[in-house]
Amino acid sequence: MSLALGAAVLWLLLGVFNGVVSAVRPRSAADRGLTLFALFFYSMPSFLLGLLLLYFLYFKLTLAGFRWFPAGGYAPLSEGVGPWFRHLILPWTALALLLAATYTRLTRGSMLDVLGEDYIRTARSKGIAERRVIVRHGLRSALTPVVTQFGIDLGQLIGGVVVIETVFSLPGLGKAAIDAINQQDLPVIIGIVLFASAAVVVANILVGITYALLDPRVRLH
């Protein structure tokens, strides 16, 4: 939960912000740069990005005398917010960079479609500030596919992120699942599968509720 929710906040903020900037300034230098960013990290294997972060931000900095990041492992909140945060910042960054690339492309495409709608031109013709048009009218309507993808990704992450947990030595559900498979521990395997399935179901329910909050055309019955 600590890994999934912390990374989710980072990748959602980064991906949506980059997508909006790209859509508002299409074919500009910012748009091309953010598109390159998305393609680069979209193609990056998760284990490779994790190892690169450990090499440059842990190994190299430690050799230079800066012990800012630990090599891996997990510190529970009972040991303090500082140690908990320091042990999770690199896994959060790895997951956020990988998934933010998808959200950048998704938000950009959805925003471009929405900004071409008639009601956006009507809002601009009424003299409404451009920032309000983008955020209040454009982004709110464009977030529907983003919310759908977010629910799927978050449900899967809560079920376990095997590669990231292995690279950063995190004792999460993904690592527990691998250990259980190697030891043929069927009760543990069944429990993890049921928990992951429940996480996906709950995430989809929350997505449906969020639809009603974002889109006035959707109503809960």
Share of the chain above pLDDT 70, in %: 96
Using an 8 Å Cβ cutoff, are 88 and 3 in contact? Answer: yes
Which region holds residue 215: left if phi is over 0, alpha if psi is between -120 and 50, else beta? beta
Give the DSSP H or E segment for 61. Answer: helix 61-63
Query: What integer pLDDT is reported at residue 217 of this predicted model?
Result: 59
Specify the 3-state DSSP secondary structure of 213: helix
Query: pLDDT tens-digit profile of 70-89?
Result: 888 888 888 888 889 988 99
Question: What is the rounded CA–CA span in Å between residue 36 and residue 18?
Answer: 11
Query: What integer pLDDT is reported at residue 97 of this predicted model?
Result: 92
Question: What pLDDT band is residue 94 in, cutting at 50, 70 and 90?
Answer: very high
Query: pLDDT tens-digit profile of 161-218?
Result: 888 888 888 888 888 888 888 998 999 989 988 988 888 888 888 887 887 777 665 5
> DSSP class of residue 79?
G
Query: What integer pLDDT is reported at residue 218 of this predicted model?
Result: 59
Share of the chain above pLDDT 90, in %: 23
Give the residue among 137, 164, 141, 145 at the shortest CA–CA distance from 104.
145
Count of all residues that appear for the chain in the document: 221
CATH superfamily of domain region 2-214: MetI-like (1.10.3720.10)
Please state the domain extents for the chain.
2-214
pLDDT at 134 over 70: yes
Looking at residues 18-41, what average pLDDT do you find?
89
Integer distance in angstroms from the first to the last C-alpha of the chain? 30
Query: What integer pLDDT is reported at residue 219 of this predicted model?
Result: 56
Query: What integer pLDDT is reported at residue 52 of this predicted model?
Result: 92
Q: If you write DSSP's letter for every residue of 114-169 in order, what string do you get?
A: HHTSHHHHHHHHTT--HHHIIIIIIIHHHHHHHHHHHHHHHHHHHT--HHHHHHTT
Query: What integer pLDDT is reported at residue 10 of this predicted model?
Result: 92
Looking at residues 19-26, what average pLDDT do you find?
90
Cβ neighbours of 219 (radius 10 Å): 8
* Largest interatomic CA distance in the chain: 67
- What are the phi and psi torsion angles at 62 (to 5°)? -65, -40
pTM of the model: 0.82
Average pLDDT of the chain?
86
Specify the 3-state DSSP secondary structure of 1: coil
Looking at residues 146-160, what average pLDDT do you find?
81
**Regarding predicted confidence, which is higher, 13 or 160?**
13
Query: What integer pLDDT is reported at residue 18 of this predicted model?
Result: 92
Question: What is the rounded CA–CA span in Å between residue 91 and residue 7?
Answer: 8
